[in-house]
C-alpha cells in the first residue's frame, strides 16, 4: 500500500519483491496491483486493511501463502457538496490471492515470489476506471455499478475477509 506504487510513480519497488521471471508482468500490468485512476487522489490517510494470511507447503522448495484481505481507499471528493454517504468516496478492494515462494532447485528466473492465483472484487468503485484496471471512487461519474442483491449481505462479504467473497460482479 505504498503510495508511490498506488499512484504509479514507483512500481519498481513493488516489482522488486517478486521473482525475476514475474517482474515484467508486475511492472506492465495494473491487474497485479491497485492503481489509482488518473485525475483522482487519495485522502491523506492510510489505506485501511483487514484480513488473514496462512502458509502451507507445496512442492519441495515451495512455500504457499494464501491471503484474504479487504482494503479501503478513501478518495478526495471531486465536489464535497455531492458526498451524501461515506461510501461515495471510499472504494473497497477485496482480494483473495495465493502466492508461491520458490527456493532451492528451481531455475534462477523462477526463484522467489510468484503470484499464482488471484480474485479481486471491487465495491463502491467507478466501473469505467475498474474496467480499465484502475481504481476511482463511486461518486466520480455515472458509470458506477448498481448495487447487487441484499446490500447488507454484500457489504458483509466485501468488508469481512472471513466471509466468502461476492461471486458476481456489478461492473
For residues 152 and 57, which has the higher predicted lDDT (pLDDT)? Answer: 57
Which tens digits make up the pLDDT trace of 109-132? Answer: 889 999 999 988 888 898 888 888
Report pTM.
0.84
State how far the Cα of 57 lies from the Cα of 115, in Å rounded to an integer.
Answer: 15
The predicted structure's pLDDT at residue 170: 63
Enter the C-alpha cell of residue 19: 521473482
Q: Count the Cβ atoms, other than its own, within 10 Å of residue 156.
A: 13
The predicted structure's pLDDT at residue 105: 82
- Mean pLDDT across 6-25: 86
Enter the C-alpha cell of residue 155: 457489504
Mean pLDDT for all residues in the chain: 86
Helix (DSSP H) and strand (DSSP E) numbers for the chain: 5, 4
Beta bridge partners of 122: 93
Amino acid at each position: 500500500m505504498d503510495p508511490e506504487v498506488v499512484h504509479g510513480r514507483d512500481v519498481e519497488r513493488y516489482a522488486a519483491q517478486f521473482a525475476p521471471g514475474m517482474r515484467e508482468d508486475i511492472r506492465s500490468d495494473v491487474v497485479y496491483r491497485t492503481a489509482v485512476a488518473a485525475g483522482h487522489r487519495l485522502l491523506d490517510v492510510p489505506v485501511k486493511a483487514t484480513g488473514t494470511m496462512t502458509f502451507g507447503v507445496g512442492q519441495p522448495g515451495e512455500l504457499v501463502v494464501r491471503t484474504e484481505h479487504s482494503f479501503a481507499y478513501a478518495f478526495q471528493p471531486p465536489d464535497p457538496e455531492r458526498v451524501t454517504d461515506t461510501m461515495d468516496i471510499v472504494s473497497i478492494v477485496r482480494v483473495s490471492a495465493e502466492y508461491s515462494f520458490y527456493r532451492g532447485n528451481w531455475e534462477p528466473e523462477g526463484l522467489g515470489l510468484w503470484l499464482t492465483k488471484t480474485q479481486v472484487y471491487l465495491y463502491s468503485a467507478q466501473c469505467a476506471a475498474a474496467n480499465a484496471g484502475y481504481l476511482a471512487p463511486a461518486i466520480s461519474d455515472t458509470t458506477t455499478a448498481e448495487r447487487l442483491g441484499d446490500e447488507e449481505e454484500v457489504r458483509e462479504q466485501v468488508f469481512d475477509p472471513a466471509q466468502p467473497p461476492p461471486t458476481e460482479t456489478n461492473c
